[in-house]
């Protein structure tokens, strides 16, 4: 009875914060299906990236895609955005100007923690937390101009009209609104998604795009959104059952709220992607003792969702970063992770993986890997042969 009351209160909290959602997807443990064994994966292609220094591109770096251009933010070492083509060749390196602190024996500051691309204007934009400046570059790396945003965003993106959408996260000291609409010069147009919270602050990447549509998710939120007519409109509601945040979460102070969710365990949404045929969600389930990771795929044609676990000990496919028009999930993957999967007793790779497994024995650099999805109806009509056939 106690758990049932918590669940009802959690759902009521979500409805108060976000309103009614369009499509509900239930995600509850245990999840039995392995992602690499999914019948929805029909083909696999990959692009080894060409770079000289080992470890220069890590699988956990942020990737953004525009057609045959692949942009990767190295936020660990060089603080640069690398642009690769569809052959894996490095075309350009885009770096913000280092700022001199004026003090001896201190490093020059240069930390572009967030970046975005604008496919319409063919621009790369890098936000620098040290001076709150947003620098805009051409795809080739030429500096165009610089603007200052009204708040330091957790994530940002630019729409077709050239205006910005800024996500601030939960319990941001600068704003009670999680979504801010600003013009191309950083002047505020509108504020949306107000939430008064005392909880521990949460920030994360929050935006994805497809065909000029902008999609939004929140790290600990249940609802996802599409920016439609300058308004955040709900698309999906992720129901985690007893693991939905309790209604008391936002009234708790930062320390207590952090201790509570780690003690009880919680789901967090790391990525939300969508195209005309599928919606994709990458989820973490975190407790004091460890982490579990999941992929959720919603087939719009059949109106069914498919929940998969990922081998967290290997984490080969840790979050898809883009969903193409051709229904391909795009990942950054380390070859050694593929080798680990191939020799794992708990992961059974289908024949689709044969070519990438063979390549992983000789390729050393991180690869761009594309897993092509097909509707379950197509998969049933055209069953794939087993590795022994």
Q: What is the pLDDT of residues 159-198, one digit of tens each?
A: 999 999 999 999 998 999 999 999 999 999 999 999 999 9
Burial of 184 (0-12, 13-18, 19+ CB in 10 A): middle
Considering the domain boundaries, does residue 116 fall inside one? no
Per the structure, the complete domain to which residue 368 belongs is given by: 36-58+275-389
> What integer pLDDT is reported at residue 385 of this predicted model?
54
95: Cβ–Cβ under 8 A, 6 or more apart, which residues? 78, 79, 80, 81, 110, 141
* Whether residue 386 has pLDDT greater than 80: no
Considering the domain boundaries, does residue 361 fall inside one? yes
115 neighbors 128 (Cβ within 8 angstroms): no
> What integer pLDDT is reported at residue 102 of this predicted model?
56
Considering the domain boundaries, does residue 321 fall inside one? yes
Considering the domain boundaries, does residue 269 fall inside one? no
Considering the domain boundaries, does residue 130 fall inside one? no
Token pair 């081998």 in the structure block, residue: 311
Mean pLDDT of the chain: 88
Query: pLDDT digit string (tens) for 77-132?
Result: 777 899 999 999 999 999 876 555 455 554 455 555 789 999 999 999 999 877 77
- Whether the full predicted model's pTM is greater than 0.75, yes or no, is yes
* Whether residue 8 has pLDDT greater than 90: no
- Percentage of residues in the chain having pLDDT higher than 90: 75
135 neighbors 114 (Cβ within 8 angstroms): no
**What is the mean pLDDT of the segment spanning 208-228?**
95
Q: What is the C-alpha separation between 57 and 43, in angstroms, rounded?
A: 24
> What integer pLDDT is reported at residue 19 of this predicted model?
47
**What is the mean pLDDT of the segment spanning 303-328?**
96
* pLDDT grade for 249, boundaries at 50, 70 and 90: very high
Residue 360's CB is within 10 A of a number of other CB atoms, namely 24
Report phi then psi at 170, rounded to 5: -95, 140
Considering the domain boundaries, does residue 307 fall inside one? yes
Structure tokens at 40: 């929805």
Q: How many domains does the chain have?
A: 1
Q: What is the C-alpha separation between 226 and 238, in angstroms, rounded?
A: 15
> What integer pLDDT is reported at residue 12 of this predicted model?
44
Considering the domain boundaries, does residue 370 fall inside one? yes
Strands 207-210 and 133-138, sheet pairing: unpaired
**What is the mean pLDDT of the segment spanning 207-228?**
95
- Using the Cα atoms of residue 336, residue 339, residue 345 and residue 350 in order, give the sign of their dihedral: positive
Considering the domain boundaries, does residue 94 fall inside one? no
SS3 content of the chain, % helix, strand, coil (to 5): 15, 40, 45
């Amino acid at each position: 009875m106690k758990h049932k009351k918590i669940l009802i209160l959690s759902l009521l909290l979500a409805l108060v914060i976000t309103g009614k959602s369009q499509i509900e997807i239930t995600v509850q443990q245990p999840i039995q299906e392995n992602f690499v064994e999914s019948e929805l994966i029909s083909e696999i292609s990959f692009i080894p990236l060409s770079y000289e220094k080992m470890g220069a591109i890590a699988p956990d770096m942020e990737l953004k895609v525009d057609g045959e251009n692949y942009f990767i933010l190295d936020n660990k070492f060089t603080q640069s955005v690398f642009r690769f083509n569809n052959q894996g060749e490095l075309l350009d390196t885009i770096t913000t100007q280092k700022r001199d602190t004026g003090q001896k024996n201190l490093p020059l500051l240069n930390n572009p923690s967030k970046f975005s691309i604008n496919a319409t204007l063919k621009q790369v934009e890098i936000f620098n937390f040290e001076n709150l400046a947003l620098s805009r570059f051409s795809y080739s790396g030429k500096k165009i101009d610089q603007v200052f945003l009204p708040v330091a965003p957790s994530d940002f993106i630019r729409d077709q009209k050239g205006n910005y959408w800024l996500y601030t996260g939960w319990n941001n000291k600068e704003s009670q609104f999680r979504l801010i609409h600003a013009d191309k010069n950083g002047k505020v147009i509108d504020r949306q998604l107000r939430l008064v919270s005392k909880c521990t602050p949460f920030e994360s990447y929050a935006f994805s795009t497809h065909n000029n549509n902008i999609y939004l998710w929140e790290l600990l939120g249940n609802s996802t959104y599409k920016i439609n007519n300058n308004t955040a409109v709900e698309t999906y509601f992720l129901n985690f059952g007893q693991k939905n945040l309790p209604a008391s979460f936002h009234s708790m102070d930062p320390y207590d709220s952090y201790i509570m969710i780690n003690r009880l365990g919680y789901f967090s949404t790391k990525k939300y992607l969508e195209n005309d045929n599928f919606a994709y969600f990458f989820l973490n389930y975190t407790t004091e003792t460890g982490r579990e990771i999941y992929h959720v795929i919603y087939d719009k044609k059949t109106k069914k969702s498919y929940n998969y676990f990922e081998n967290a000990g290997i984490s080969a496919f840790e979050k898809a970063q883009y969903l193409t028009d051709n229904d391909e999930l795009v990942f950054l993957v380390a070859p050694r992770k593929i080798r680990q999967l191939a020799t794992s007793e708990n992961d059974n790779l289908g024949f689709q993986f044969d070519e990438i497994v063979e390549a992983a024995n000789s390729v050393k650099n991180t690869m761009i890997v594309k897993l092509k999805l097909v509707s379950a109806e197509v998969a049933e009509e055209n069953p794939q042969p087993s590795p022994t056939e």
